[in-house]
Structure 1
Amino acid sequence: MFAGIIVNSESIALDKIFTYKVPEDLEDKLKIGQIVNIPFGRGNKLVMGFVYSINNEIQSDYNKIKSIHSIKIVEETFTEDNINLIEYIKENYLSTYLEALKLFIPTGILSGARRKTKMVLYTGKALDDKYDKDPYKSIFNLIKFNEGKFIKNDICQRLNISTSPLNTLIKHGYITAGDKVVNRYNTREYEAYLKKDLSEAQKDVFNEIILGENNVYLLKGVTGSGKTEVYMNLVEEYMKRGKSSIVLVPEIALTPQMVERFKGRFGRDIAIFHSRLSDGERFDEWYRVKEGKAKLAIGARSALFLPFSNLGLIIVDEEHENSYKSESDPKYHIRDIAVFLSKNNNCRVVFGSATPSIESYHNARNGEYKLVQLNNRIDGATMPLITLVDMREELKNNNRSIFSKQLYEEINLRLSKKEQIILFLNRRGYSTFVSCRKCGFVFKCPNCDISLTYHTNGRLICHYCGHQEGSRNTCPKCSSSYVKYFGVGTEKLEKEINKTFPSARTIRMDFDTTRKKDSYEEIYKTFKNGKADILLGTQMIAKGLDFPNVTLVGVISADLSLNLPDFRASERTFQLITQVAGRAGRDKKLGKVLVQTYTPEHYSLQLAKNYDYEGFYKDEIKIREFMSDPPFSKIMLINLSSEKEELLINKSNDVAIHLKKEYKSDEFSILGPSPCIIGKIKSMFRWQIIVKGNIANDTAHNIKNSVYNLIKDVYNDIRINIDINPNNLL
């Protein structure tokens, strides 16, 4: 018996399957997905490996094959059913075996994460006359009526005694001790979230997804149209069929609301899975799914790889969001993984959004997905009126405030009516950059080619590498005192709100205020329960949240996303404006949205103002086709970085020259090399080469191998980062 083993090493040279003999004493125990100890290399050092296959025949020389030493972790971290997906990820995203299979392994298991237990007490044999008296009798009776609930300290504290009599009872068998698993996941009860009658439109969508012949659906539903209620009915239907479901959300900030609703409807047996959980909590949720004790998982991207054995439904809410594309290896996209699972597991996939990605809508128009729509809000609620406020006119009228006159008046009006307000600004910090007005010097990060952001704690912080330094009142270049803080971040916005509207109760939700565990849920509850009047924040407040008393949404600056040097800038601006606008007027009160901008004439803003997704798609798809951008092509981004700038430039040129010579094709073009838009991050200079067009998988792998071969002589000095269809080209 032989096993194919993936070695736990990130070395590209070791990215292959190694064959090992299976000792006779392990033949009945060894399973695919287990972690084993294996002798490796000339010194036969024991290293960890993952059992990837088990065979009875091999083509290698039997005598040269080493044997597995022992099984290190008995739990099957992945199964034979996962192998096809691992191979798919390796093939389509240029990943290694190890990077792909680690998607299925709960964080912490390699470093020893296990189920947590505690020693609890039970009664043993009946007390005889010698011990049928206090304190022995009190101890025995307390445990008798609370079998398996108390540890030693609980008993001693309750009865205010020492451990001596308790140890005596244990010694003579009157009390026994045993291990009990401690669950490290959310078991609290939630307020019941009653099932609602579906509207005719919701019923049509539900029936189409349940009864239709397609496996992949795009649910395009305006904000407030009741997509979540459709999701719940779909999950309920698949539960009746004995099938499991996964509901994915793009932001951890959305998880508390989704958990509240689903646990309120279906009870506590729902697994929650996202990066803010501890290793122990993630392991327990993973184990609960593996044991079949949870039939539904809610979470971020990683929840899709939980070990469900009978998966029937995958729901991807807000499918257009960037966070569904992994930025670390393997750089997969949830959309592709879900479609792959629909074919291989014969499960239904529902992509939901008010503003679908151009790629998804294109797929729906071409028949790859089945399009279903909810075009109206539920209960007759109307879409809020969106008004574009030209900030150039505000400047002409000598208004240099963060707030336009109209937004100022609307905030005051809502505060007087005891209604709630959401203010959106997609930039954290206090001032976005600090500059000298005399010589133009900008305070930049010494490690990154990016300006430092001023925060109210008096620190200048780099949002890329975390570098911090104290703020200064004099210019280090010309020594003048004309140092000024430019731009607006969420901290400055909060300060201006407190100054301009002193009676308003304001809370802020951004990366800085949500570092602590459960901070998302605390902010969400505070605003939901009416304990704050204004919620301000970055894009984490722009989608999914449902607050009936919010009647005003203000977008402080729509131009931040519009002016990014990226072909998706217009799409993201349209989506952000439409999504954040959808937070207003979700109940019976009318909503209003004010969008402050210096470019109100831009087509994405004009079409967002009228909720004209179809018009936006038609304009945008023409530009994409003309420029040969996705979905009409594939982009392969090759990023090279090094602390040695001259070496990096020389090697980038060598690589580009070789690729252009070796891979001439009418199917794709090779662009560059050129410096990245952000030329340095964390002391590493950055250059890039872009391959754009119809790139076959085998060609992409050959290009990757060529790049690594060309860099191998300076591999310790240059890092390589390759991404297929990246989120951005920064």
Structure 2
Amino acid sequence: MYNYAGVIVNNDSVKVDKIFTYKIPEGLKNKIDLGQRVKVPFGMGNKNIDGFIVQLYEYVELDAKSLSKLKAIIEISDDFQVIREKDISLIGIMRGKYLCTYLECIKVFIPSGITKGMKFKTKNVVVLGEPITAKYEKESYKKILEFIKENNGNYSKQQLSNEFGFSVSSINTLIKHGFLVLEEAVINRYNDKQYNNYEERTLNSLQQQAVNTIMNSKGKKFLIHGVTGSGKTEIYMNLVKKAMEDGKDSIILIPEISLTPQMVERFKGRFGKNVAIFHSKLSDGERFDEWMRVKMGKVKVAIGARSAIFLPFSNLGLIVIDEEHEGSYKSDSDPKYNARDIAELKSDIEGCKVVLGSATPAIESYYKATTGEYTLITLSERADGAVLPQVKIVDMREELMNDNKSIFSASLFSGLKHTLANKEQAILFLNRRGFSTFVSCRKCGYVFKCSNCDIALTYHNYSSNLTCHYCGAKRQIVNTCPRCKSKYVKYFGIGTEQLEDQVKKVFPEARTLRMDFDTTRGKNSYEKIYNSFRNEEHNVLIGTQMVAKGLDFPNVTLVGVIAADLSLNLPDYRANERTFQLITQVSGRAGRGKKPGRVVVQTYTPESFSIKYAVENDYISFYKEEVEIRRAMNYPPFAKILAINLSSEDEKLLIKSIQDLGDKLHIKLDNNDKIEVLGPCPCGVSKIKSAYRWQILIKGDFTTELAEEIKDITYNELNSVHNYIKVGLDVNPNNLL
């Protein structure tokens, strides 16, 4: 029997990021368990707050005086474990790996509704009671009873009256005499929509070989490198089926919520109600219900974005990470985890298989495959006999020399004309939203910037406003330069709004649809856009990177990449990789059905190796060249990067503080020949939401223990100014801006 519990308290302060020991009252000793949420007294005022039990022990090594001061747990908050025992060890690993707090880790494992005291939503429904007697066999009563028999437990009194026109008086009479009964029933807040059957397809030899390799291998971690359209989803579904046959649960991760409708349609069409959906667009109630369905063992499969990796399946057998190269699998808030890392850790702890899939694997993932850490599976052909699209590269400098100043090259113009004439569909990809990407004065060069952020404002035609894409601030457009008062204010650059506008002008027959951040803010907007384009209500889909991955539309025969250079010019060591991935992925949306596909890639730098290899669909050559650059520059996968970001509205205090911190870190690390300290210096975007931003980068072969030492130095150095300076620590960040 345990007498003491180690508890993580629900307090965000770094200063209380430790395990506190509490006494277990006699009345709770037979009920207490690891992973439970409890109420505990905390602080000088003994405020009752939530705590999470992560340790249990019979004895504690304390002197009698300290032992007498221990506080006791007040009560158990739930009748179930909110954290699995296996996840407690994972939380400890995450805290060290991602330099965050215990509580930040715990919060990703449980839905916010748990700590808010959320319960299942219920309503009183009408069900059959005693058999009706002859005295009450009126025709109106019979109709009500017959309807209830067919729909037992589905409707409340109000619904029966308002939706089906039954008399409330008659219903009340039947209830009064026991022929009908009111019962409390749970209202499903999750997606219980019925989908058309998605029939199992016969695998080709490469697909079958992939399934056999994964199922029969003693290894646990696999990378499927399959060209776009090679049938990776069907492989995933076969693996899920085999896991279910073995009584195992599966998690399927997808990178974008925009892909959820397509994946849900397929998996629910194949596996029915056995599938849960989990992502950030769900309401708190929906997330609570889906989490509880998993917790209670009512589903065997979950589909979702990165947070679904933490769902509490009791018998996890398979984790699939589709489009594993995507940056959205890395969290940008604490804990700054990468879902790929979490999947590997869960595999080590729970013994489940992990399958990563991509046509353009992350350099780090493919490197692990070459070193044997992952088992590599290659799918070199498209499924069902489809062929890869023909890709043409267009040098926009030559278009300009030929006096073509439009958005569309001659090749893209003729391609769109042909596609629309043949009643086919096209996707146009431009990784910038808005109408004009910046507004400037042609006389003095003044650029309209956000007053809160160090970023140019973007013009949005639909709102007639200049908008900051970092803080959301809006500003009315003006035609006079604030600096020189000239009238030479011009709108430069092009975003998805202007591209859509130009398509409508040049091709009046085009029925355009746009998918970017501005058009997908609504709750069901992704599904509406997906269904509308799938049903061919529109023939041109225009979008940012949301359209560049995973989507499968058989009638899309043309893809246009409007500006292939955008991601190439970012000051980031991943720029080449991201450019290659985006072009390859969006090209793969063409020709996925029986009709051949064409792709037009417009660029001002056709000589770039990332663009050249993307056009040739040659991942191996790209990987070989890129990995040698990484090796020479000591970037991942050959080293780690720890970014220390400080931000504050007080610029002078920020600069002094980060310089003092930099001095301490240089003293600590300069003699370590495996470590390089870069900075301090301003971030690429030096101001966001009125806060100035500076950073220090630590690059090299550092251990988790050394990273924790650096974390301690950072917080100790900034302890006196922590109320004025925000600290961010990120291992292998997505970008260095």
Gaps of 5+ in 2: none
Alignment equivalent of 2:218, drawn from 213, 232, 241:
213
Task: State the shift of 1:137 in Å.
Answer: 7.2
Task: State the shift of 1:174 in Å.
Answer: 5.0
Inter-partner Cα distance in structure 1 for 2:83 and 2:365: 30
CA 1:389 to 1:21, structure 2 compared with 1: closer, same or farther past 3 Å? same
Task: State the shift of 1:131 in Å.
Answer: 6.1
State the AA in 2 paired with 1:195.
E
Q: Is the 8 A contact 2:559 2:589 kept in 1?
A: yes
SS of equivalent residue, structure 2 residue 708: helix
CA 1:160 to 1:319, structure 2 compared with 1: closer, same or farther past 3 Å? closer
State the AA in 1 paired with 2:553.
F
1:711 equivalent in structure 2: 718
Q: Is the 8 A contact 1:668 1:691 kept in 2?
A: yes
Alignment equivalent of 2:23, drawn from 7, 21, 39:
21
Task: State the shift of 1:458 in Å.
Answer: 0.4
Inter-partner Cα distance in structure 2 for 1:312 and 1:471: 56
2:533 equivalent in structure 1: 527
2:514 equivalent in structure 1: 508
CA 1:22 to 1:612, structure 2 compared with 1: closer, same or farther past 3 Å? same
CA 1:422 to 1:155, structure 2 compared with 1: closer, same or farther past 3 Å? closer
Alignment equivalent of 1:682, drawn from 664, 667, 689:
689
Q: Is the 8 A contact 2:683 2:694 kept in 1?
A: yes
1:33 equivalent in structure 2: 35
TM-score, normalised to structure 1, is 0.97
Inter-partner Cα distance in structure 2 for 1:197 and 1:141: 44
Q: Is the 8 A contact 1:290 1:307 kept in 2?
A: yes
CA 1:617 to 1:133, structure 2 compared with 1: closer, same or farther past 3 Å? closer
State the AA in 1 paired with 2:703.
A
| 1:204 pairs with 2:209 | yes
| 1:692 pairs with 2:694 | no
Alignment equivalent of 2:678, drawn from 649, 671, 675:
671
State the AA in 1 paired with 2:525.
S
Q: Which moved more, 1:493-502 or 1:265-274?
A: 265-274
Q: Is the 8 A contact 1:444 1:450 kept in 2?
A: yes
2:732 equivalent in structure 1: 725
Task: State the shift of 1:71 in Å.
Answer: 2.1
Task: State the shift of 1:162 in Å.
Answer: 6.8
CA 1:147 to 1:617, structure 2 compared with 1: closer, same or farther past 3 Å? closer
CA 1:393 to 1:137, structure 2 compared with 1: closer, same or farther past 3 Å? closer
2:280 equivalent in structure 1: 275
Per-residue CA deviations over 1:275-325 (Å, capped at 9, x if unaligned) read 111111111111111111111111110111111111111111110000011
Q: How big is the alpha-carbon RMSD for the aligned residues of Structure 1 and Structure 2?
A: 1.8
Alignment equivalent of 1:429, drawn from 414, 428, 434:
434
Q: Is the 8 A contact 1:35 1:74 kept in 2?
A: no
2:477 equivalent in structure 1: 471
Task: State the shift of 1:159 in Å.
Answer: 7.9
Inter-partner Cα distance in structure 1 for 2:138 and 2:623: 82
State the AA in 2 paired with 1:46.
N
Q: Is the 8 A contact 2:424 2:539 kept in 1?
A: yes
- Count of matched residue positions in the alignment of Structure 1 and Structure 2: 730
SS of equivalent residue, structure 1 residue 108: helix
State the AA in 2 paired with 1:702.
E
SS of equivalent residue, structure 1 residue 267: helix
Q: Is the 8 A contact 1:431 1:454 kept in 2?
A: yes
| 1:481 pairs with 2:483 | no
| 1:606 pairs with 2:612 | yes
Inter-partner Cα distance in structure 2 for 1:219 and 1:690: 33
Q: Is the 8 A contact 2:4 2:57 kept in 1?
A: yes
Q: Is the 8 A contact 1:604 1:616 kept in 2?
A: yes
1:332 equivalent in structure 2: 337
Inter-partner Cα distance in structure 1 for 2:397 and 2:625: 26
| 1:517 pairs with 2:523 | yes
Q: Is the 8 A contact 2:35 2:88 kept in 1?
A: no
SS of equivalent residue, structure 2 residue 713: helix
CA 1:136 to 1:605, structure 2 compared with 1: closer, same or farther past 3 Å? closer
Task: State the shift of 1:483 in Å.
Answer: 0.7
Aligned residue runs from structure 1 range 151-550, under 5 A: 151-157=156-162, 163=168, 166-167=171-172, 170=175, 173=178, 175-456=180-461, 457-550=463-556
Inter-partner Cα distance in structure 2 for 1:685 and 1:443: 19
Alignment equivalent of 2:565, drawn from 559, 562, 566:
559
Inter-partner Cα distance in structure 1 for 2:665 and 2:178: 77
| 1:47 pairs with 2:52 | no
CA 1:38 to 1:206, structure 2 compared with 1: closer, same or farther past 3 Å? same
Q: Is the 8 A contact 1:121 1:175 kept in 2?
A: yes
Per-residue CA deviations over 1:578-600 (Å, capped at 9, x if unaligned) read 11111111122221111111111
Alignment equivalent of 1:118, drawn from 123, 128, 132:
123
Q: Which moved more, 1:472-481 or 1:65-74?
A: 65-74
Task: State the shift of 1:140 in Å.
Answer: 6.0
SS of equivalent residue, structure 2 residue 273: coil
Q: Is the 8 A contact 1:2 1:19 kept in 2?
A: yes
TM-score, normalised to structure 2, is 0.96
Q: Percent identity?
A: 56
Q: Is the 8 A contact 2:648 2:724 kept in 1?
A: yes
Task: State the shift of 1:475 in Å.
Answer: 0.9
State the AA in 2 paired with 1:396.
M
SS of equivalent residue, structure 2 residue 613: helix
Q: Is the 8 A contact 2:221 2:344 kept in 1?
A: yes
Task: State the shift of 1:136 in Å.
Answer: 6.8
1:587 equivalent in structure 2: 593
State the AA in 2 paired with 1:3.
A
SS of equivalent residue, structure 2 residue 709: helix
Q: Is the 8 A contact 1:238 1:245 kept in 2?
A: yes
State the AA in 1 paired with 2:45.
G
CA 1:138 to 1:497, structure 2 compared with 1: closer, same or farther past 3 Å? closer
Inter-partner Cα distance in structure 2 for 1:237 and 1:206: 10
State the AA in 2 paired with 1:706.
I
SS of equivalent residue, structure 1 residue 559: coil
Gaps of 5+ in 1: none
